[in-house]
Amino acid sequence: MRLSTKGRYAVMAMADLAVHAQDKPVALADIAERQEISLSYLEQLFGRLRKGGLVRSVRGPGGGYMLSRAGADIRISDIILSVDEPIQTTRCSPGSPAGCHNNKGRCLTHDLWEELANQIYLYLSSVSLEDVTQRRVLGTSGLIQGFEATAAQ
């Protein structure tokens, strides 16, 4: 999966929105300041998130953005797919039977990378925005770093 800046920033901004909304709209300028993301970049991202049905805008004084539904009902994969291209780990066109070689064949590692994309998508689909904001996303990354530090000694 090619997780671009768009996807990462969209998840960061949506988490910020979920934490700070408290039944009132949040101005993009406030999110931009807290997350250190360009306001114009956030405007582009939120246009896509709105089209994706994940946020709604409120106009006028005190306006801004709100989540369109509860954070528990928004999957991280929904956010990323709203602002990014589909998850892709191979050079081949998604869904195409033709491979990435000149002769249209698949490379030996094609299925490996395709399955990696599937696993990433499944993982991101299993995590809700609420899981992120409530810090319920626990994994082995800390253990791996701890292992590497111990192994290096």
What phi, psi does 24 have (nearest 5°)? -145, 150
Q: Is 119 left (phi over 0), alpha (psi -120 to 50) or beta?
A: alpha
Above 70 in pLDDT, residue 115? yes
Averaged over 124-147, what is the pLDDT? 78
Output the pLDDT for position 5.
Answer: 86
Q: Which residues contact 135 (CB under 8 A, 6 or more apart)?
A: none
146 pLDDT tier (thresholds 50, 70, 90):
low
Averaged over 56-82, what is the pLDDT? 94
Q: Give 5-134's CATH code, choosing from 1.20.1330.10, 3.40.50.720, 3.40.605.10, 1.10.10.10.
A: 1.10.10.10
pTM more than 0.95? no
Averaged over 21-27, what is the pLDDT? 91
Q: 112: number of CA atoms within 13 Å, CB side?
A: 3
| Percent of the chain at pLDDT exceeding 70 | 75
